[in-house]
Chain A
């Protein structure tokens, strides 16, 4: 079957696909020749399993994600529902500022239910029909460790700081407000303190 390449991502290629007459996308983690073969196989398999499991698991507590239609572990591929919206990364700055509260809430819901996303960038949230969908769970983990949740927050902060530098302050503030409204004040204080701790461990970080 001839498939159209939609996006060459960092670790997987995304193709347009048909699944029982509805539009779908096929995500395949292809062999990377630069990687040692046994390491490569392990990474591709593990992430395919994690991603397909967690995409479905998080639906049970209300996180909008694409439906998983089919998984082939041998080929490290997942067929899933197409969300025909736009990545938050590509939206106008004002819209990103507005949506960051909702994104904070979604991340709060994940954490509250013991899931760390592992790759929180603005490209991994898709805005479609007034709803923010979460995708790309390949690096996710089932974990209730506050340190892991803090790693998630630090990553999105780093992305806001680098890719969205002009609107960093307002987006980060909105994100934290949304996050706090879900996890509660005590957890919020604990996690954000850990974020500062991780940052202070960084190379040449200002020692406060």
Chain B
């Protein structure tokens, strides 16, 4: 089975080709173009969607070339139908619909967040993990039960990715800012007290964001260090809570913030304490990419026919715990 996956939920436009044999998948190509806002600014949905439109054909062309196949070889096309920014989502959906209807290829709308998890499982070999999904759009702890991903904890306001990006932009970086913050943080070991807000299995970051902005006026490096230490300790604590409550023996971390070294070091320590195995998605596939969409579409094709064209819409707010998983 050969699948094409199209991702366009936020700043990334990406196409990927995966070959699926039984339960195994091989990524033949994964090409991305990322919209970069000016320093200190966030994603402008209209500008991002324009970027996606302008780059869509070259990304698709390159992705086919790299995989050494033609569109006619494809068995299915999947696209990220949500959650995400409306104008951006529509670009991917239009490309997918055009190809599917012109070449008569089955089409699959896919939940972007489920895509992060499924690709993580494929690339790490985790079988029954507690999943930590940390990105610009999500901060969630999930476990699979009874055909659905169930939420064991999540953020009550902004996500970990937003926390890092919004703070990073306030000191002049361009999104995504995680890497810049990590670099500055490594220059300090002076911890300044910041609000630590764990509510049961949930976290809240909005107070932490405001407080970090105000201590940054004194020292940017101390602020970066203290922000990381506080936010990651909060995440680690709720992970510990969920591991202990669910008794899961595997932890899988996926999403853009999975690339952060300090966070994964802390979580590795947590896993050691609880005798659980630690899996992190390879950095190259941590962020948004076509592969996550392609692989989920291929999995869905095991149990479902392609969608009718009239049902290939986009859904900006589409929680992953509302998706039935039958494969």
Q: Which chain A residues have a beta carbon within 8 Å of chain B's beta carbons?
A: 8-11, 32-36, 38-40, 42-43, 89, 118-121, 123, 139, 151-152, 154-155, 158-159, 161-163, 165-166, 198, 201-207
Q: Which chain B residue shows the least CB distance to A156?
A: B200
Q: Which chain B residues have a beta carbon within 8 Å of chain A's beta carbons?
A: 82-83, 137-140, 143, 145-146, 148, 150-157, 159, 191, 193, 196, 198-202, 229-230, 233, 236-237, 240-241, 243-246, 265-266, 269-270, 273-274, 316-319, 322
Contacts A8-B273, A155-B202 given: A36-B237 contact, CB under 8 Å? Answer: no
| 8 Å CB contact of A8 from B145, B193, B198, B244 | B244
The distance in angstroms between the C-alpha atoms of A129 and B218, with both chains bound, is 58
Please state if A203 and B137 are interface contacts (CB–CB under 8 Å). Answer: yes
The distance in angstroms between the C-alpha atoms of A161 and B139, with both chains bound, is 18
Main secondary structure of the interface of B (DSSP, over half): mixed
Please state if B245 and A121 are interface contacts (CB–CB under 8 Å). Answer: yes
Please state if B317 and A118 are interface contacts (CB–CB under 8 Å). Answer: no
Please state if A10 and B237 are interface contacts (CB–CB under 8 Å). Answer: yes
Please state if A35 and B233 are interface contacts (CB–CB under 8 Å). Answer: yes
| 8 Å CB contact of A204 from B83, B150, B196 | B83
The distance in angstroms between the C-alpha atoms of A35 and B196, with both chains bound, is 12
| 8 Å CB contact of B319 from A119, A123, A203 | A203
Please state if A162 and B152 are interface contacts (CB–CB under 8 Å). Answer: yes
Please state if B319 and A42 are interface contacts (CB–CB under 8 Å). Answer: no
The distance in angstroms between the C-alpha atoms of A40 and B322, with both chains bound, is 37
**Across the interface, which residues of B come within 8 angstroms of A34, CB to CB?**
233, 236, 265-266, 269-270
Which 3 A-B residue pairs are closest in the complex by CB-CB distance? Answer: A162-B150, A155-B200, A34-B269
Please state if B151 and A158 are interface contacts (CB–CB under 8 Å). Answer: yes
The distance in angstroms between the C-alpha atoms of A116 and B268, with both chains bound, is 32
**Across the interface, which residues of B come within 8 angstroms of A205, CB to CB?**
317, 319
Q: A63 to nearest B CB, angstroms?
A: 18
The distance in angstroms between the C-alpha atoms of A183 and B279, with both chains bound, is 45
Contacts A11-B237, A36-B191 given: A155-B201 contact, CB under 8 Å? Answer: yes
